[in-house]
Structure 1
C-alpha cells in the first residue's frame, strides 16, 4: 500500500540516507545498466550530508554528460599498459614493431615510472614530473622522451575510449620538444644526380635508383617482389607482369605494340622476426647477461684510446638497464627460436593511417635498368642451381642465392655507394627525404608528394620537404621586384 506523496522513486532518482551502523551518510546513484542487464548503481559515503550530496551530484553530472566509467576495480598503470600491449597493440602493429619499439618503451620507462598509480588518479603533474626524471635522472634524449609521450598518449586514449577514465591526462601535457628528433639531411639535386650515375653497373644499383626516385622505405624496397611490378596498356586495358615482358624481350604491348606505362605496387615490407628463448629456464639462460644501471656519479665507460670529450654513444652514462624479470637476450640462447624473415603489411595501413597499398609510377629509364637487373638475377639463378632460393621469395632485390637481404647488409651497400660516388655520408632513410625535396623543387605540390610517400597527414609530409639554399635565394630574389620603381 502506498500513501499519496510516498512510493517508489522515479527511475534514475538518487538516494541519500544516514546509517546508524557506521555513523556515515551514504548515497546511491543509478548510472545506467551493466552488461548483464542489471542496474549499474554507484555508492558514495561521507561524514556529512553536504559532502555526500556533493559527491552524488558529481556522479549525476557525469552520468548526464555521458562520462560514465566502467564498473569494477580501476587498474593501475602497470596493469592497464600490460593489457594494452598484449590485447590491443599486438593486434594492430607488426610483431617486430611490438617487440623492438612498444614493449621496451612501456616496460623500461612507463611501468617503472608510473606503474603504481591507478589510471584514474594520474594527473598532468605526475606526467610532467615523470618526463623530468627521464631527462635528469636517466639522461634520456628528448627524442626518446617524445616516444614515451606518444605511447602514453595512445595507451591512455584507449582507456578513455573504453570509459575507464574520464579524460586522457596526457592530452593536457605539452609534448617534449620534437626539435631534437632527427629530421633528415636530404641530398641536393646535384648530389642525387652524381649518386644515380654511380648506381649504373652496380649489382644493386637499381635498388638505390628506385629509392631515390620513388621515396620508398628500406623495408618496402627490400620486400618488393617481381609480381608487384606491372606494365599496363591503356588502349588494350591489359596489365602485364614486368618480368613476363622481360622474359619475352617485349618492349611494348604484346597485343597492340602500343606504349606501356609502368608501376610498382608497394604493399609489403620485408621483416626480420626477433630471436626469442627456446629454453625452459630463461632466468638461468640470461644469468650474467643483464645490463645494470650505472651507479650515481659514474663517469662513463670510456676506453684508454678514447680522446678527451668522447661522445661515442655506448661510452656515455647511464647505460640502459634491463627491465625487471628481463626475458631478452634471446640471440644468445642456445635453443633460440625466430630470426627468420617474413613479409609484413606496409607501414601505416588502415583507416586514417595511410594507404595499405601504394601504387607508384616507374620512370621508363628505370625500367631499362630493371631489365638489366632481371637478366643478371637470372644468371645468378643458373649459377646457384639447386641452392637458388628465388623460387620461394621472388624478390626484386635479393642475395646472390635469391634469398632476403638484411637491413645491415643493405646499409653497408649504401655506405659503399656513397664512398664510391664521393657524396657526403647520410642515412639510408635520408633517401626518402631526398625524393620528397627534389619532387618539390621540380614543381610537385605537397599533396602530390604526400600521395607518393604514402603519408596519412600533410604535416608528416612537410617534415620530409626541405628548402634548399637555391630555392630560398630564388624566393627572396622574387621579393626584390617589390622595390622596383
Structure 2
C-alpha cells in the first residue's frame, strides 16, 4: 500500500480501492487539528486536490472547518497512515496491525463508522459493545476494540490528551467525573419533559407499574436486583387489587403481615 507523506499532508491508496489525501490546515477553535480529507480514483487527482488545500493554507484563505470526520474515515487514516508508519519504523508488529484491521473492518466500522468523531457518545459505544457480546465475542475482544477506538481518539486529541491509562475516559483521556451520570440523567429528564427526580427514584418508578400490571413481586425483585423481596415491596407505591394479589401469591404469605 503506497503512502506519500508531504509535510503534514498524507496521500495513500486505501483498502477501499480509492486514493485518499489528508491535509492539516491549522487548529480549530476547540483545539483539535483541522484535518481536511480528499478522495479520488487516481493518485494524480487526489494529489491535485491535496495541493489545492495546501495552497489555500499557504495563502491564508482557509475556510471555516467543515464537519468532523466519521469514525470510519478516521480509523482508515489511523490504520493506513499512522499504524503503517509504526510498522515501518519497527514500533508495531505487522501481526498487530493485521489484528487492528480485522477488528476495525468486522466490528468498529459496521457498528460505529457512520458517527462523526466529535459526536461519538457513550451510548453509541454501549450499543456497539452490547451487539458484539450478543454475537458471542469474548469480553477481551470487546475491550481490545475499545482500546483501538481510544487510541485513535488519543491521536485526534493531540497535545490535549491526558494519559491516565484509563479504560473509560473523556474524549481527552481524563477521568470521567463522578457526577457525569447525574448530569446525563438530568438531561434525559429535561428532554423527556418530566419532573425533576433523583436517579434512585427511577427504581421506584420501574417497580410500581410492574406490580400494578400484576407482575409477580418475585419477578420484580429479580428485575431490580434485590436480595430480599421485602426490599422490593418498599419500592412499590401502589394500593391496587394487583398489589394485594401479588402479596397473596403462593409462597409469599409472609408479605401480607404488617
TM-score normalised over the length of structure 1:
0.20
Q: Looking at CA atoms only, which structure, 1 or 2, has the larger radius of gyration?
A: 1
Tell me: higher relative CO, structure 1 or 2? Use CA pairs within 8 A at least 6 residues apart. Answer: 1
